[in-house]
Amino acid sequence: MLCGGDRVVPADPELRDGYYLSPCILTDVTDDMEVAREEIFGAVACLFPFTSEDEVIRRANNTPFGLAGGVFTR
């Protein structure tokens, strides 16, 4: 975890029993990790290293759900 993922305690007392986490960034995620294969309900960004455009396209198309994706390069 690069940053984030800390527990957040809401100011509203009625919400304090919930499970709230700050946005987080996970680095060096691989395709076989659960966090890469299943939907996350929260503000989580998974960073996947890659070496070629073909690799990125293959990996982006290799999902049963196709929920969301983004590509950021240098």
Cβ–Cβ under 8 Å, residues 20 and 41: no
What would be the CATH architecture of the domain defined by 1-74?
Answer: 3-Layer(aba) Sandwich (3.40)
What is the mean predicted confidence (pLDDT) over 19-43? Answer: 88
Dihedral over alpha carbons 22, 27, 31, 5 (to 10 degrees): -20
pTM score of the predicted model: 0.70
pLDDT of amino acid 69: 67
Structure confidence by residue, pLDDT tens digits, 42-72: 889 888 888 998 998 888 888 777 666 666 6
Average pLDDT over the chain reads 85
pLDDT of amino acid 58: 87
The answer on pLDDT for 24 being more than 80 is yes
